């Protein structure tokens, strides 16, 4: 890490965002902010905030433990790196820097199949602590090959993203930003690893794939024994299908607003999914988690853990691997403090009673 970035660390995720936005290119900042199409993201942020917390009196919280287990894997905190494209546009080490920080924090990282680094590079620093995200591109051999490489590189789970059957038309500045990033990112050392390795750009030609269906999930399940996580579930009936097709977990997610505009907030979708399948598989959540209190809110609604995208991305922009480590440190401290004051010293103690009932 460059020395001037090390001193620029931040005290919370909001500060990381301010510092990161000074360092990002205009198109990348616009893209991350969902500019001109931020309805879904705004809904997520507001919905977490609307869940007020209830303190608990006189519980012995001298020893607070944030550790938990997700798809059979022990985590020091219930916070996991979400997969995101374009890491190398904000840090020279790209996804490797993020992976190193996740390992240091005792959690796992999720490598985007559209990332700029491949399974071998991330596995070299995070074997056993990395999940491989997949898009079901039209070329099934590419999917099979990435799965085989991920298994060899030490991935501990596969995470299939199921909420983008197509890329919607991005309006206004968001459209311009996506185009600018796509052009810059389509070539050279910082391009998508799958594009470099398989000789074609997945965007447009083989990705997205509108024909993917549940039978493809079955095919994927046949490729490896690794736990399969389906990311991008909003409806309970889809969570039930995920369970029935052998998923080990689902991520309740609306892609933080980069797919469907006006998608319902994850905080509103989560309870019915937990009620439908929470007894059978791990329910995770992402989209708009910014503080340890948000993590507590999601866990109170029944999530086993959360994924964080933009907070990690902002930390990476500000301080590389150390910046991402700082994000994890902050979220863990904030979560532990919120657990203590709500009288839940263990993750298993967190339940819906932590949340104030909705006002009539």
- What number of other Cβ atoms are within 10 A of residue 346's Cβ? 14
Residue 288 burial (CB < 10 Å; 0-12/13-18/19+)?
A: buried
* CA distance linking residue 139 with residue 144, whole number of Å: 9
Stretch that binds ligand FMN, among 17-25, 201-209, 236-244, 304-312 (CB under 6 A): 304-312
* CA distance linking residue 92 with residue 65, whole number of Å: 34
Residues 103-122, interacting with ligand FMN (CB under 6 A)? 112, 114
Residues 186 and 172: beta-carbon distance below 8 Å: no
Q: Is 345 in the site for ligand FMN (CB under 6 A)?
A: no
Q: Which is nearer to ligand FMN, 94 or 309 (CB)?
A: 309
- Residues labelled catalytic: 255
Q: Which is nearer to ligand FMN, 68 or 132 (CB)?
A: 132
* CA distance linking residue 240 with residue 281, whole number of Å: 10
Stretch that binds ligand FMN, among 60-68, 78-86, 293-301, 324-332 (CB under 6 A): 78-86
* CA distance linking residue 54 with residue 219, whole number of Å: 45
Least distance to ligand FMN, CB of residue 94, Å: 13
Q: Which of 255, 297, 304, 332 binds ligand FMN (CB under 6 A)?
A: 255
* CA distance linking residue 106 with residue 337, whole number of Å: 19
* CA distance linking residue 71 with residue 175, whole number of Å: 37
Q: Is 256 in the site for ligand FMN (CB under 6 A)?
A: yes
Residue window 22-41: x/- pattern of binding to ligand FMN, with contact defined by CB under 6 A: ---------xx---------
Q: Which of 288, 302, 315, 323 binds ligand FMN (CB under 6 A)?
A: 288
Binding interface with ligand FMN (CB under 6 A) = 31-32, 82-86, 112, 114, 133, 161, 231, 253, 255-256, 258, 286-289, 308-310
């Amino acid at each position: 890490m460059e020395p001037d970035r090390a001193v620029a660390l931040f005290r919370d995720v909001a500060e990381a965002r301010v510092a990161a936005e000074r360092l990002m290119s205009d198109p990348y900042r616009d893209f991350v902010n969902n500019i001109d199409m931020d309805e879904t993201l705004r809904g997520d942020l507001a919905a977490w905030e609307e869940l007020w917390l209830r303190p608990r009196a006189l519980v012995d919280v001298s020893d607070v433990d944030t550790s938990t287990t997700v798809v059979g894997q022990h985590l020091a905190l219930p916070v996991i790196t979400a997969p995101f494209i374009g890491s190398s546009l904000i840090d020279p080490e790209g996804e490797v820097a993020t992976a190193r920080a996740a390992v240091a924090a005792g959690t796992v990282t999720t490598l985007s199949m559209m990332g700029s680094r491949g399974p071998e590079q991330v596995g070299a620093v995070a074997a056993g602590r990395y999940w491989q995200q997949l898009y079901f591109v039209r070329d099934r051999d590419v999917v099979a090959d990435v799965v085989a490489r991920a298994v060899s590189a030490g991935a501990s789970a596969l995470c299939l993203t199921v909420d983008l059957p197509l890329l919607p038309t991005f309006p206004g500045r968001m459209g311009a930003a996506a185009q600018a990033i796509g052009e810059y990112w389509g070539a050279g050392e910082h391009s998508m690893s799958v594009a470099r390795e398989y000789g074609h750009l997945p965007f447009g030609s083989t990705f997205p794939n509108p024909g993917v269906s549940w039978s493809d999930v079955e095919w994927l399940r046949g490729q490896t024994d690794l736990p399969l996580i389906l990311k991008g579930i909003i409806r309970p009936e889809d969570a039930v299908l995920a369970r029935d097709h052998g998923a080990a977990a689902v991520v309740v997610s609306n892609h933080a607003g980069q797919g469907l505009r006006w998608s319902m907030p994850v905080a509103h979708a989560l309870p019915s999914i937990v009620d439908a399948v929470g007894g059978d598989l791990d329910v995770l959540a992402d989209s708009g988690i910014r503080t340890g209190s948000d993590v507590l809110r999601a866990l109170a609604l029944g999530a086993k853990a959360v994924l964080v995208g933009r907070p990690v991305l902002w930390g990476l922009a500000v301080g590389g691997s150390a910046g991402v480590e700082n994000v994890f440190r902050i979220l863990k401290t904030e979560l532990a403090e919120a657990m203590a004051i709500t009288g839940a010293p263990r993750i298993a103690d967190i339940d819906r009673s932590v949340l104030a009932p909705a006002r009539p």
